[in-house]
Amino acid sequence: MPLNIPHNLPAVEILKKENIFVMDDLRASTQDIRPLKVALLNLMPVKIVTETDFVRLLSNSPLQVEVDFLKMKTHDSKNTPQEHLSTFYKNFEDIRKNNYDGMIITGAPVELFDYESVNYWEELTEIFDWAAKHVTSTLYICWAAQAGLYHFHRIPKYPLERKMFGIFKHTLIDPNKALFRGFDDEFYVPHSRHTEIRREDILRAPGLNLLSESAESGVNIVMSRGGREIFITGHSEYTSVTLHNEYCRDMNKGLPIAIPCNYYENNIPDEKNIKVHWRAHAHLLFKNWLNYYVYQATPFNTDEIASLGKLDT
């Protein structure tokens, strides 16, 4: 089954060109199938790019998925047209009475700020607490992973001497988790961040399970409540050119930026030299999440979501 998204969302035409089958909301309305309901809280400035990245990964599943796009009411986005936001995005107040099968909370370019100084922190933590009761499984990505671990478990973040920037090799600590079914012993994940969370803090925190890590980039995936929350420090959703565009942007601004690690052939920064070796595992990660932690764990009656215990996967 395909992804069910608004027929005029820019991502539709982009994904059709990539031969990805997307069912728009007009066609989906003719089918008597309850799709999985997934909320995507998009904290990134250029929302169209980010929503397309995640829609691409959610579409690679036999499950039909319907996505609601969310934005912060307490923060004005200046890098996305207001027409796009008003057409496709909802505020938390619009959906707070709903239950969802899954939720994704993206990263945000605010990692060098103290959490409490982020201007939408109060609203965001309200959404975190709501998701813990109203969503079967939530993915927290990059800064959202750090923020979620801090909010729920008081895990601190630490500034890095230099930006963690590139493609890094990871290994599995618990390869028997359903999230990793079909994974190789080693897999690659893009990272782009100025801060980190540390292994020792995760290991001594009750209720947290460290599932994968990298000798170079550190903690990768952390799980709590058996999969009700999954915290991912990297950016598996990145396209082949995302790091290249970030590198060129910072170079053009005269900012201090190193060449992304393990990214360009012969380390020569040119788009034609990009080596993609994370895409397959990215698709598998999201497919496994939808299947084992969203679809198979969701009650037949979504009103029961708040009473769920730990997922047995």
CA distances in angstroms from 39 to 42, 127, 266, listed in the order given: 9, 11, 40
3-state secondary structure of 313: coil
* Token digits of residue 264: 């360009």
Yes or no: say if 36 and 59 are a contact pair by the CB < 8 Å rule.
no
How many whole angstroms separate alpha carbon 177 and alpha carbon 197?
Answer: 22
Q: Name residue 78's amino acid.
A: K
- Residues in contact with 287: Cβ distance below 8 Å, sequence separation at least 6, in sequence order: 60, 61
Give me the catalytic one of 134, 235, 244, 281.
Answer: 235
Q: Which residues have CB under 8 Å from 86's CB, separation 6+?
A: none
Q: Is 235 a catalytic residue?
A: yes
First to last CA, the chain: 23
Which of these is catalytic: 142, 170, 213, 244?
Answer: 142
> Catalytic annotation on 246?
no
142 catalytic per annotation: yes
Nearest to 8 by CA among 87, 89, 95, 77: 87
Which residue is catalytic, options 111, 213, 237, 244? 237
Please choose, from the candidates 211, 204, 214, the residue with its C-alpha nearest in 3D space to the C-alpha of residue 227: 211
CB of 138 within 8 A of CB of 229? yes
Instruction: Provide the token pair at 49.
Output: 């790019």
Give the span between the Cα atoms of 189 and 218, in whole angstroms: 11
Return d(Cα 128, Cα 118) in angstroms, integer.
15
Q: Which residues contact 103 (CB under 8 A, 6 or more apart)?
A: 38, 39, 40, 41, 131, 135, 137, 138, 139
Pairing of strands 36-41, 65-70: parallel
Active-site annotation, residues: 142, 235, 237
